[in-house]
Amino acid sequence: MIPYGKQQIDQDDIAAVTEVLQSVWLTQGPKVPAFELAVSEQCQASYAVAVNSATSALHIACLALNVGPEDIVWTSPISFVASANCALYCGAKIDFVDITLDTGNICINALETKLIDAQKLNQLPKVVIPVHFAGQPCDMVNLAKLAKQYGFNVIEDASHAIGAMYLDKAIGGCAFSDICIFSFHPVKIITSGEGGMALTNQPDLARKMQQLRSHGITSDPTELTEPSHGPWYYQQQLLGFNYRMTDIQAALGLSQLNKLNKFVSERNQLAAFYQQHFSDNTNIQPLRVSADCYSSYHLYVIRLPELSRNQHKACVEFLRSKGIMGHVHYIPIYLQPYYQQLGFKAGYCANAERYYQQAVTLPLFPGLTAEQQLFVVNELEHFLCSLS
């Protein structure tokens, strides 16, 4: 089966992990801060807090911004469930803003309309979480304008988008947000096995996230509320978690980071190959990438607008029968049974649901060969021809 995405591990990665296994520190050693420093330099952010997943990063990012039971968080329905679950972990309410059909990203006009309505009802969101879907950055300039006007904080879910650029700057620099989140799950752009990171330029947010990832504990003498009892002393000041990244993971992440530019440029070349082969077929519509964005192409998504619901399903089944792991990213989050129980109804975000009926993810990962790509293109066109 040709997967839709996978990691690429080389001898340097293996050597980096082996070195940690033979060292004193398997966790809470030097590799975690080294990885944090390297990522913060790569994307020009002041602070980086490594954790054991992007899901954990989203959770502590919400807590650092004081999201609680009185609050409302908004995100995109076309994302992984973690983008929304983080608000529920904090006891907050979650709501969804519809997408733009041809990019899969949050629609700024829909956001503005929803903000105007929410203001009248005194139900403005405390935090909005845009998702840089498939690796393409959202329209952050206009989102930041609305953030200022309506007074909400912004957490970028950039789980797909390390290595992407917006207005010629690396995603992660938080120029238009409070906090930006990366994922290092193996299917993402670079991997640490499991892992995530939260970036910010605000020292208070960074410090709070550092404490929250490790039980809410500190032993920093300047932070203690009473004199130290002795050299063993630490204080728990917040209700935190064990969300720490290990040094084994950080060593792999650091080694993978050396290949970030290579991976992303290869992903762009592979995407261009598909694009070129689909350009004369109006039934196949790749996601549109704006001129002000450089996508990291975590996913290669096409839309097949002419297909019925059954034909769309048959298309993915056909690809799988040929050994091609076609996929659909994503099921609108609010259609999940858990979210239906919360009261969300089918039809809530029209574009998201239309998108869900049309989208197919094709294989894209470093190491995918031209031969495999041509096979994917031919089998897809073969299927589409069989319909007419």
Ligand X SMILES: *Cc1c(COP(=O)(O)O)cnc(C)c1O
Q: Give the interface with ligand X as residue ranges (CB under 6 A).
A: 53-55, 79-80, 82-83, 131, 157, 159-160, 183, 185, 196
- Closest contact distance (angstroms) between CB of 253 and ligand X is 12
Q: How far apart are CA 83 and CA 121, in angstroms?
A: 25
- N- to C-terminal Cα separation, the chain: 27
Of 98 and 383, CB closest to ligand X: 98
Of 176 and 330, CB closest to ligand X: 330
Nearest to 248 by CA among 49, 18, 6: 18
Residue whose structure tokens are 């912004």: 154
Nearest to 359 by CA among 310, 298, 297, 316: 316
SS3 30: coil
Of 185 and 208, CB closest to ligand X: 185
Nearest to 8 by CA among 265, 164, 187: 187
- Closest contact distance (angstroms) between CB of 328 and ligand X is 14
- Closest contact distance (angstroms) between CB of 13 and ligand X is 18
Q: How far apart are CA 154 and CA 148, in angstroms?
A: 10
Give the count of beta carbons closer than 10 Å to the beta carbon of residue 384: 18
- Closest contact distance (angstroms) between CB of 67 and ligand X is 16
- Closest contact distance (angstroms) between CB of 248 and ligand X is 16
CA dihedral 186, 327, 279, 282 (to 10 degrees): -160
- Closest contact distance (angstroms) between CB of 290 and ligand X is 19
Of 133 and 274, CB closest to ligand X: 133
Of 196 and 240, CB closest to ligand X: 196
Of 296 and 358, CB closest to ligand X: 296
Give the count of beta carbons closer than 10 Å to the beta carbon of residue 207: 17
